């Protein structure tokens, strides 16, 4: 008899105590949580639909593409409706006719947004190509870039967030966070022509607003000032606003709901910013140990003030 077997009953009994002492594990009959694997499958279907031929086994031709799109849209709708319904019913304590209708409405509305999302993503591909000389080609950006994958998932998840669908937007954003290291809360509002280069360690908080033509590098946090107030601050503007045409270099933290980075700013690496920066400013953190004392300025001048 192994040591483990001597303790089996006791471990089971203690785990039962943990299960019973919390509402987390057992719910009323008929309530099921949304299925994480099904949601990941739906995201994969969205990717195939928006970038046909790049992902999955289907290789639609110009002739078959309309049928492919129709098939994928129908499949996504049929998979998504029940997941949204589960999520709403779980939050609201039971399935009702009205929940079924709301789920169908949210799924339809998301699918009706897809042509607009497709256009936005093609503009994001352009931003990556123009923003990164190492990008190689549009194809490479679509196949491989973590920034594009993260913004693709975000643009889908954000539509569900806007419609107050619980759980699913977060499952989506945390899935792609795990794949890319890029954590974009589904509540963030992000404009056109957005590019995250490299991406590892990027965090974009729930109430962040980002304008058009914004480029950020790895390690950037658009965050909130630290709090212990938790849900009391839910819904309050806690994260910064980044106006159009801003570039933010690596490992910058910009924090706080009142913090606005004005149009056309360039923020040099490692800055820690908790108050607003006027439009067209160039912020650089000087390292006193560097022997070239205008390191930041020279670097910007040498690049011809390109962003
Ligand atoms: C991105 C970030 O700093 O968020 C902090 C916290 N999760 C909030 O949403 O307030």
Residue 155 has what pLDDT? Answer: 98
Q: Is 177 in the pocket of ligand 1 (CB under 6 A)?
A: no
Q: Does domain 26-181 have CATH number 1.10.3130.10?
A: yes
Residue 304 has pLDDT above 70, yes or no: no
Average pLDDT, integer, range 32-59:
95
Give me the residue spans of the domains in the chain: 26-181, 188-285
Q: Is 257 in the pocket of ligand 1 (CB under 6 A)?
A: no
Residue 67 has what pLDDT? Answer: 97
Which stretch of 57-71, 101-115, 176-190, 275-289 has the lowest confidence by average pLDDT?
275-289
Residue 93 has pLDDT above 50, yes or no: yes
Average pLDDT, integer, range 19-38:
85
Residue 290 has pLDDT above 80, yes or no: no
* pLDDT band for position 23 (cuts 50, 70, 90): confident
Could you identify the atom of ligand 1 that is nearest to the CA of residue 207?
A: 9
DSSP, residue by residue, the chain: --HHHHHHHHHHHHHHHHHHT-TTS---TT-----HHHHHHHHHHHHHHHSTTTSSS----TTTHHHHHHHHHHHHHHHHHHHHHHHHHHHHTS--HHHHHHHHHHHHHHHHHHHHHHHHHHHHHHHHHHH-TT---HHHHHHH-HHHHHHHHHHHHHHHHHTT--SHHHHHHHHHHHHHS-EE-TT-EE-SS-EESS-TT-EE-TT-EE-SS-EE-TT-EEE----S-GGGGTTS--S-EE-TT-EE-TT-EEE-TT-EE-TT-EE-TT-EE-S-B-TT-EE----TT-SSTTHHHHHHHHTTT--
Average pLDDT, integer, range 44-53:
96
Task: Give me ligand 1 centre to Cα 225, in Å.
Answer: 8
Q: What is the CATH number of domain 188-285?
A: 2.160.10.10
**Equal CATH topology for 26-181 and 188-285:** no
* pLDDT band for position 105 (cuts 50, 70, 90): very high
Residue 295 has pLDDT above 50, yes or no: no
Residue 181 has pLDDT above 50, yes or no: yes
- Global pTM reads 0.91
Tens of pLDDT along 134-151? 999 999 999 999 999 999
Residue 298 has what pLDDT? Answer: 59
Q: Which residue puts its alpha carbon closest to atom 3 of ligand 1?
A: 223
């Amino acid at each position: 008899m192994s040591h483990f077997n001597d303790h089996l009953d006791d471990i089971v009994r203690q785990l039962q105590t943990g299960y019973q002492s919390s509402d987390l594990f057992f719910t009323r009959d008929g309530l099921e949580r949304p299925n994480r694997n099904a949601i990941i499958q739906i995201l994969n279907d969205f990717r195939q639909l928006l970038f046909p031929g790049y992902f999955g086994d289907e290789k639609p031709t110009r002739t078959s593409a309309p049928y492919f799109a129709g098939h994928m849209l129908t499949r996504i709708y049929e998979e998504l409706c029940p997941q949204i319904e589960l999520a709403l019913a779980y939050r609201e304590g039971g399935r009702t006719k009205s929940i079924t209708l709301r789920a169908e409405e949210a799924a339809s509305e998301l699918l009706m947004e897809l042509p607009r999302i497709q256009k936005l993503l093609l503009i994001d591909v352009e931003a990556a190509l123009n923003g990164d000389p190492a990008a190689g080609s549009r194809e490479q950006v679509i196949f491989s870039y973590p920034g594009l994958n993260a913004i693709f998932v975000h643009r889908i998840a954000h539509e569900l967030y806007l419609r107050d669908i619980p759980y699913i937007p977060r499952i989506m954003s945390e899935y792609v966070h795990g794949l890319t290291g890029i954590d974009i809360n589904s509540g963030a509002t992000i404009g056109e022509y957005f590019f995250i280069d490299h991406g590892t360690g990027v965090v974009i908080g729930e109430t962040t607003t980002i304008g058009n033509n914004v480029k950020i590098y790895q390690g950037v946090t658009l965050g909130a000032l630290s709090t212990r107030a938790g849900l009391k601050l839910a819904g309050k503007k806690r994260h910064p606003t980044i106006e159009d045409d801003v570039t933010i270099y690596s490992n910058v933290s910009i924090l706080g709901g009142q913090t606005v980075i004005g149009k056309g700013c360039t923020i040099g690496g490692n800055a820690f910013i908790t108050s607003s920066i006027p439009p067209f400013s160039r912020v650089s953190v000087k390292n006193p140990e560097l022997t070239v004392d205008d390191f930041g300025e020279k670097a910007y001048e040498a690049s011809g003030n390109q962003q």
